[in-house]
Structure formats: structure tokens, C-alpha cells
Amino acid sequence: MNTQTLRRSEAAMNARRANEDVAILLVEDEQDLLELLRYNLAREGYEVSTATSGEEALKAVRNESPDLMLLDLMLPGMDGLEVCRTLKSREHTSDIPVIMLTAKGEESDIVQGLEMGADDYVTKPFSPRVLLARINAVLRRREQGGDRQAASALHVGEISLDAARHEVIASGKRVDMTATEFKLLALLMSKPGRVFTRQQIIESIHDGFAAVTDRSVDVQVVSLRRKLGPSGNNIETVRGVGYRFKES
Ligand code: CA
């Protein structure tokens, strides 16, 4: 084994050790997928418990407090959205991060889930590697306090946003923008990688005067991208769901 390989395997081992304290509740009714995910999560060092129905999932969170829940949306009986809604409405479980596991073509469910407070989603079929990356991103955001919106300065990639000075610098150049565009950019940059639905964006940037519609969010995004020039590519459209700022 050369030094580089050795270092890499050491890093992997350290990551696994760090994951040992992280408890994940996996809720999935497809037995094959459940086993595949359980295997992959355990291999990464996570402490995994499982549930195969919504009712079972809610019972499980009463007994143990997972650090994260992977929640299939299509479940027999109580579905994933109902589980998410219940979880987020109860004080002692509302903070548990949720990543939804969804099938293609369930955009309206994804939107509902995100608006209910789910942190992220992955669309089936997905590779375990993609899921692990999402889990890491959600846990990392939580660790950083999640909401960096209150921070006065945000730096992601080539873009810096200074709330106190109401200033945006993209690729070294100052960018003039409207108050709404500024709020929109601050929201997206506060959680890189996190998808925001149009409704969430409206609620966040609404100033109480202008009537904001889904369509006007799209218009704001177009304008924002244009003003940011090449850095505008950081604002990604998530088809049928909303927008997100690319993770650097
Ligand atoms: Ca299912």
C-alpha cells in the first residue's frame, strides 16, 4: 500500500468512526431496498434502525431519538408525507432532519414534503453513494447551525454576500441588485445544496407589500442569474420543485 492509499484509507476509517455516534432511522417498505441501504449505511459506520411502515416509524422515534430519518414516501397505510407532517408538528421530534426517498414523477409530493420541513430528498433509483453524500450534507448543515441566514456575511464559491453592507461581490466584481433579489440570493446561499420551493422562497422574501407569485419568483431568479454573470450558474433550477444554490 503506498502512502496515498494509506492516507485515504485512514481518512475513511476516521469518517466511519465519526459516524458511529450518528443514529439513522430508515423507513422503507421495499425489503430489498431496505437491506441494501441498511448494509451501505452500516458499512459507513452509521448506527441504523429500521421501520417498514409509517406507524412503526412514529413508534420508533418515541423510543429512540434518531439523528436523521430516511423516509420513503410511498408506504402502506400512513404515507411518508403524513409521517413527516406528524414528526414536524411535535415539539420533541420537529428537529429530526428528514431526507425523503421518492419515486420519479412525485414532484408535487416532493414540494409538499419540503414545505412541511423535510431537509432534502433523493429520487429512486439512486446510488447509495448519492444518498450518503446527501446525508453528509444534511448533517453538516445541521452542525453548522443550519441557518446561516442570520450571519452577516456569506461566502460560497465565487460569490460573497455582505448583509450588513447590502453588498454582493461576484468573481471580484460588485453587483447591484434590488432588495428582493438580495433577499433571494441570501436565502439560497444560506443553505447551499438545499432545495427551496417557490412557496418557501415567497414566504422568505415577501416584504408585506408586493404580491409575490410563483411566476414572479422565476422572473427574479432569471434577473439574479443575469446580474451574477458566469457565477449565476450557481443558482440551479430543480425541475418541478424549486431552486437551489450549488454546493461548492
Ligand atoms: Ca415504498
Shared-domain flag, residues 166 and 241 = yes
Which residue has better confidence, 101 or 13? 101
Shared-domain flag, residues 128 and 186 = no
Cα(60) to ligand 1 centroid in Å equals: 18
Cα(142) to ligand 1 centroid in Å equals: 27
For 77, phi then psi, to 5°, come to 75, -125
Cα(64) to ligand 1 centroid in Å equals: 23
CATH number, domain with residue 31: 3.40.50.2300
Shared-domain flag, residues 181 and 96 = no
- What value does the mean pLDDT of the chain take? 90
Of the candidates 147, 181, 200, which is a domain's last residue?
A: 147
pLDDT attached to residue 209: 56
Shared-domain flag, residues 135 and 181 = no
Other C-beta atoms closer than 10 Å to the C-beta of 51 total 23
Shared-domain flag, residues 25 and 128 = yes
Cα(84) to ligand 1 centroid in Å equals: 15
Question: What mean pLDDT do residues 182-205 have?
Answer: 92
Least confident of 139-143, 173-177, 180-184: 139-143
Q: What's the domain count of the chain?
A: 2
Cα(125) to ligand 1 centroid in Å equals: 12
pLDDT attached to residue 182: 94
Could you give the strand order of the β-sheet that contains 68-72, starting from the edge strand earlier in sequence? 47-51, 23-27, 68-72, 98-103, 120-124
Q: What is the domain extent for residue 21?
A: 3-147
Shared-domain flag, residues 33 and 71 = yes
For 90, phi then psi, to 5°, come to -100, 130
CATH number, domain with residue 174: 1.10.10.10
Ion ligand 1 residue ranges (Cβ < 5 Å): 29, 72, 74
Shared-domain flag, residues 93 and 128 = yes
DSSP state of 247: P
Of the candidates 147, 176, 192, which is a domain's last residue?
A: 147
Shared-domain flag, residues 40 and 91 = yes
Cα(68) to ligand 1 centroid in Å equals: 18
pLDDT at 58 > cutoff 90: yes
pLDDT attached to residue 245: 95
Cα(115) to ligand 1 centroid in Å equals: 21
Shared-domain flag, residues 114 and 139 = yes
pLDDT at 149 > cutoff 70: no
Shared-domain flag, residues 69 and 127 = yes
Mind listing the pLDDT tens digit for each residue in 207-234?
Answer: 655 667 888 899 999 999 999 999 999 9
Residue 23 burial by CB count (10 A; 0-12/13-18/19+): exposed, middle or buried? middle
Of the candidates 147, 163, 197, which is a domain's last residue?
A: 147
Shared-domain flag, residues 195 and 227 = yes
Cα–Cα distance between 83 and 230 in angstroms, integer?
A: 41
Cα(153) to ligand 1 centroid in Å equals: 42
Cα(103) to ligand 1 centroid in Å equals: 9
Cα(219) to ligand 1 centroid in Å equals: 36
Shared-domain flag, residues 51 and 139 = yes
For 72, phi then psi, to 5°, come to -70, 140
